Amino acid sequence: MARPPLRVGLVGSGFMGRAHALAFGMAGRVFDLPLEPVLELLADANATIAAAAAERLGFRRASGDWRQLVADPAVDLVAIAAPNVLHKPVALAALAAGKPVYCEKPLAATLNDARDMAMAARAAKKVTLVGFNYLKNPVIALARDIIAKDEIGKVIGFRGIHAEDYMADPDAPFAFRHEPQGGGAFMDLGSHIVSMARYLIGDIAAIAAASVTVHESRPVKRGASARKTVTVDDQMHAVLRFASGVLGTIEASWITPGRKMQLAFEITGTKGSLSFTQERFNELKLYRMGRDAGREGYTTIAAGPEHPPYGEFIPAPGHQLGFNDLKVIEVKALIDALAGKSPAYPDFAEAAAVQAVIDAGLRAASERRWVTVEKI
């Protein structure tokens, strides 16, 4: 194939690292890409782990040192799927080395770090993209299109939730996400719904919030009797005001029994409403007022070829995309940006803006007052 290669260096091979590898492998088969991704180099905690993962995920080479990866001249793009604490050092090193960066969310452990990273990206003038993959759903593009075309009128309300239950077991062991700099449920899951809110509605200006740590300690490892104190939020509830005046609520929880992927929203406009949940992410519910007396109601729209880029995956409607397909669309957006075909979204600046909302929310909760969200 005549496309120039894009040699990917991936740091990290866990859940999201593997998703990256699958997506890079798939993207060129689904889309007509301007560059051909090549799985060049995988770095992980040590050489042994890295070698095994490289073999499993199909990378040409492996390394036990991410610094080596960043410096490798045969790496065109640095993809970061490492633990959150590594996001900043790896990204800064990559940008310093003049390389574009594809980083998993949340961008950083703190707003300061995220701001630094956004500034470094701006200074380096390199493409950056942060993995808020749920934004890449064709049905979310449809929601944005419906809003843009004034089909639900002026937006007036937003309710956003991201609830899961993967920490609902009080004996789920202490992990990096429970460290103070790990962030808690609002950073881990809340950042998804905040990015969605920003994508669909716009800047968030101010926030009031309440949070709680329900399980105040966790075993140091699975089955251990020794426990470690947890101080990050398990659950967060916030009310917010967008810069446009739209009001809303946002919630995040990783201890909601029964919810596996309730990344959900309802958007109210003056002439209609939208309703969505990632639990059924190939569907969007739309209501438009005053069109059809006696036959009105929410319409359940199923994703299909008329909702790009669904048709690149499957030519027939109703067949459904899967989670891994969203990552493929994200990789396509990244590669288009790298080829100069379209701007990257969400980039480091956008992710820092998300972080500013998280930061404001956490302060609002701890200080029990409305907090103005810092502009990035």
Binders of a second copy: how many residues, by CB under 8 A? 99
Nearest CA to 135 out of 92, 105, 172 is that of 105
SS3 338: helix
Q: CB of residue 10 vs a second copy: minimum separation in angstroms? A: 13
Task: Report the alpha-carbon distance of residue 201 to residue 195 in Å, rounded.
Answer: 10
* Contact residue for a second copy among 34, 64, 89, 170 (CB under 8 A): 170
* Contact residue for a second copy among 112, 257, 341, 366 (CB under 8 A): 257
Q: Interacting stretch for a second copy, rule CB under 8 A, among 67-75, 98-106, 124-132, 304-312?
A: 304-312
Q: CB of residue 297 vs a second copy: minimum separation in angstroms? A: 4
Give yes or no for residue 176 binding a second copy (CB under 8 A): no
What is the DSSP track for 126-189? --EEE--GGGG-HHHHHHHHHHHTTTT-SEEEEEEEEE--TT-STTSPP-GGGSTTT--HIIII
Instruction: Please identify, using beta-carbon distances, which residue of 265 and 348 lies nearer to a second copy.
Output: 265
SS3 11: strand
Task: Report the alpha-carbon distance of residue 293 to residue 289 in Å, rounded.
Answer: 9
The CA-based dihedral angle spanning residues 117, 328, 71, 113, taken in that order and rounded to the nearest 10 degrees: 10
Q: Which uninterrupted H or E stretch holds 93?
A: helix 84-96
Give yes or no for residue 94 binding a second copy (CB under 8 A): no
Instruction: Please identify, using beta-carbon distances, which residue of 114 and 365 lies nearer to a second copy.
Output: 365
Give yes or no for residue 135 binding a second copy (CB under 8 A): no
* Contact residue for a second copy among 38, 49, 52, 302 (CB under 8 A): 302
* Contact residue for a second copy among 237, 265, 350, 353 (CB under 8 A): 237
Quick check: 217 and 229 in contact, CB under 8 A? yes
Give yes or no for residue 5 binding a second copy (CB under 8 A): no
SS3 79: strand
Give yes or no for residue 157 binding a second copy (CB under 8 A): yes
Report the site for a second copy in 104-133 (rule: CB under 8 A). Answer: none
Q: Interacting stretch for a second copy, rule CB under 8 A, among 150-158, 173-181, 224-232, 349-357?
A: 150-158
Token pair for 61: 């080479």
Q: CB of residue 228 vs a second copy: minimum separation in angstroms? A: 19
Report the site for a second copy in 187-216 (rule: CB under 8 A). Answer: 208-212, 214
Positive or negative, the Cα torsion across 7, 12, 14, 16? negative
Instruction: Please identify, using beta-carbon distances, which residue of 121 and 365 lies nearer to a second copy.
Output: 365
Give yes or no for residue 258 binding a second copy (CB under 8 A): yes
The distance of Cα 250 from the centroid of its chain, to the nearest Å, equals 16
Give yes or no for residue 273 binding a second copy (CB under 8 A): yes
CB proximity list for 263: less than 8 A, separation 6 or greater: 134, 161, 162, 189, 192, 193, 196, 277, 278
Q: CB of residue 67 vs a second copy: minimum separation in angstroms? A: 27
Task: Report the alpha-carbon distance of residue 105 to residue 117 in Å, rounded.
Answer: 13
CA dist list (Å): 31 to 78, 212, 285, 325, 331: 21, 44, 28, 12, 10
Q: CB of residue 333 vs a second copy: minimum separation in angstroms? A: 18
Gyration radius (Cα) of the chain, Å: 21
* Contact residue for a second copy among 320, 339, 345, 363 (CB under 8 A): 320
Report the site for a second copy in 346-375 (rule: CB under 8 A). Answer: 368-370
Give yes or no for residue 222 binding a second copy (CB under 8 A): no
Report the site for a second copy in 321-350 (rule: CB under 8 A). Answer: 321-325
Q: Interacting stretch for a second copy, rule CB under 8 A, among 51-59, 92-100, 103-111, 178-186?
A: 51-59
Instruction: Please identify, using beta-carbon distances, which residue of 57 and 360 lies nearer to a second copy.
Output: 57
* Contact residue for a second copy among 9, 12, 28, 184 (CB under 8 A): 28
